[in-house]
Chain A
């Protein structure tokens, strides 16, 4: 696409990648799928090494894994579910690290693509979360109790249930998974577009001298730092919302 003599790559070149193995099958592997696998492997290796390394003062990967567990426990589980939520720690920690590692490829040189700017994993994880919190709600309150507490939240005046019940029906069972998925996907896609835009702009304006070239380049550097923050933030938001939904299923009175 050419705008004002700037050649901006087509959106297909930014988000869609060719198959590199098992082409034309359901297991066709492309860059996005590889990022998912590497993110999984990074999480497994991080925790695997941390489990084998048992020094009293943690360092390196042990520090990353234990810091992550502490972070998820203290800042997510204890704040939203309470001590009862500790049994969901493996699930929530997996979510956090998996999403974070997929996101952080946005700023890894030569890869520079956030896997979550494709809808596959955000949607998949949102559906998993949807199944998990509904299952927990039904198991802890019974189907009738869960539906009653979800659609008719306690403490609301009877007259308002006419409005609240349909809203809750949409919000709990339809909007939640979509909002989870779209929030993560849209944030990462927008971040990727921003970085590409300023990278293209820097390259294009470099020919006009240092000053016009440096300005978008500085912006690119700042946005790269910002995207590191966004990668962690989006992983945190996805995980904490999951914990909030699980907490709501366990304790409808809150």
Chain B
């Protein structure tokens, strides 16, 4: 405990009430265990009771067994009525020694102590102890009730907040869906535009290349025509050894080209 104090911990010293109660309980328990051990159980035995009664008997100037002997002899003569009565009374006392005590009859001292104990207990319970414990229980019940109410309120609030969040979440989801749909539509539109433009460009390109091919073809044919003309003229001139006039040249060239064209 001291070590805990040095470390700044709160010391838990037994309260004065607790120490007193503990000491009182120990004293009473010790008294119960040692002061009233079973071997010390009371109750005179019938024998001891008879001996005590005989010892206390006085008759004819004698005491004890001698007095009893004289009393019995005197009573047997039936002369002394007083002796007879005394003997009868004495025998009744002896019979009393053999009778077990009536267990249902309470001891006055026990009633007094029991009464003191119960009155003290009832007084303390009524005055202080019961109200104090009950107050603690009521305070706890109140606190638990308050905590439960607060928890219920917090739960309701949390549910409301949750419902709000869920509504917002649903709105956000719908908004997101709308945005995605719009984006998808835009994308589709852009794609269609791009495709259309690409097809258009492709068609244009194709047309332009066709035109180019056609022009190149025409150019090639024209070039070919010129070269073939020159070759044919040269060959014809070398064969015939003179220059051909213009009409003959043209005729010759045409017939050659037709011939080549029919072969292709």
Contact = CB atoms under 8 A, between A and B. Distances in A.
Interface in A1-55: 9-20, 25-45, 47-52, 54
Contact of B126 (A15, A27, A91, A115): A91
Interface stretch (B41-49, B160-168, B185-193): B41-49
Interface stretch (A122-130, A146-154, A239-247): A122-130
B136 A54 contact: yes
Interface centre among A38, A42, A90 (most CB of B within 10 A): A90
A20 B113 CA distance: 14
B125 A124 contact: no
Given A12-B101, A40-B118, A34 B126 contact: no
A224 interface: no
A30 B40 CA distance: 11
Contacts of A51: 128-129, 132-133, 136
Nearest to A29: B113
B28 A18 contact: no
Contact of A40 (B109, B117, B126): B117
B125 A47 contact: yes
B123 to A, nearest CB: 9
B117 A27 contact: no
A104 interface: no
A18 B114 contact: no
A120 to B, nearest CB: 4
Is the contact region of chain A dominated by helix, strand, or loop, or is it mixed? helix
Contacts of B31: 20, 34
A125 B139 CA distance: 32
Interface residues of A, number: 65
Interface string B6-48: 0000000001011001001100110111011110111111000
B116 to A, nearest CB: 8
Contact of A189 (B40, B41, B103, B122): B103
Chain B interface bracket (under 10, 10 to 19, 20 to 34, 35 or more): 35 or more
A141 interface: no
B93 to A, nearest CB: 18
B121 A40 contact: yes
A65 interface: yes
A18 B111 contact: no
A110 B133 contact: no
Interface of B: 15, 17-18, 21, 24-25, 28-29, 31-33, 35-38, 40-45, 100-101, 103-118, 120-122, 124-126, 128-134, 136-137, 139-140, 143
Interface of A: 9-20, 25-45, 47-52, 54, 56, 65-66, 69-70, 89-91, 93-94, 98, 110-111, 115, 118-121, 123-125, 128, 182, 185, 189
